[in-house]
Amino acid sequence: MAAATGDRERVEQPTTRSEGNEPARRGPAAPTSLEAKATRLREIRPPLTIAVAQPRCRPKDVPSNARAHASLIRSARARVIVFPELSLTGYELDAEPVSRDDQVLMTIVEACAEANSVALVGAPVADIDSRPHIGTLQIGPDGIDVAYRKCYLGGEEPARFAPGAGPVAFELDGWRIGLGICKDTSVEQHILATAALDVDLYAAGLVHLPSELDMQENRAIRIARACAAYVAFASFAGPTGGGFDHTAGVSSIWTTHGNAITRAGSQPGELARATLS
């Protein structure tokens, strides 16, 4: 459960009938699947502090954008920081893929080492002998991996990028974290397949228009309930490419019941933070 929230439902104790004239006894309630999962996980994992961040982004300027990511990582004081779709380049579909061996990214690695954080960063990534993917880089004190490749492409993306192989989850401090990117969050097949990975948290980077904030909210609620998991959406703020002269921002974190815990504003440089348990 998130800190400073009261999203647990009250569970009524069932009445147990007794024989003869003895009064009815109150028996223990059978926990719901969500409550049983929460009880089990509290026994084996520590709380998780997570932030969703909206860095200032210059088109295709990876060095500058890496510094902006590093600054937010240091200020977030979180174990996990989620960034928007293509946050390292902006939503510039012709940007060159970002290599995990690029020394420019050491700026982010160093910030993660100082803060003991893991950053989930949006970037175009390349595979050998194939088109590039819209990806999520997992950056931590020990280095950089491509954690996820966007499965469901939209708009002009299929002309440039290849779809990923399918949903993924990774484990951190006893938490199973499932990943998505933007359109993935609208696709039932992706949501259910991610739920089947028994995730505790669904994290995704987005690029949305301001007029799509209600859609962003509804998708988060749907995912939280389908996965019985917390949801963290990092949504692009400020202008970027692909016709997104204005973007929504309002990066947010939701409970397993689909209630908002915390939200950022609509401006670049903002973040929202919560501690989950």
The sign of the dihedral angle between the CA atoms of 233, 260, 264, 243 is: positive
Q: Which domains does the chain have, with CATH numbers?
A: 32-276 (3.60.110.10)
Hey, is 72 helix, strand or coil? helix
CB 50 within 8 A of CB 79: yes
Specify the higher pLDDT residue, 24 or 63.
63
Q: Give the integer Cα–Cα distance in Å for 93 and 276.
A: 34
Mean pLDDT of the 107-114 span: 98
pLDDT tops 50 at residue 22: no
pLDDT (0 to 100) of residue 2:
52
pLDDT tens digits, one per residue of 210-245: 999 999 999 999 999 999 999 999 999 999 999 999
Band (109; pLDDT cuts 50, 70, 90): very high
Q: Give the integer Cα–Cα distance in Å for 101 and 106.
A: 9
Assigned token pair, 212: 């799509």
Q: Phi first, then psi: what are they for 36, rounded to 5°?
A: -65, -40
Assigned token pair, 215: 């859609």
Band (130; pLDDT cuts 50, 70, 90): confident
Question: Is residue 46 exposed (0-12), middle (13-18) or buried (19+ Cβ within 10 Å)?
Answer: exposed
pLDDT (0 to 100) of residue 35:
62
pLDDT tops 90 at residue 43: no
Q: Considering only 35-44, 148-157, 230-239, which range has the smallest mean pLDDT?
A: 35-44
pTM for the complete prediction?
0.85
Q: Give the integer Cα–Cα distance in Å for 203 and 196.
A: 15
Q: Which amino acid is at 146?
A: V
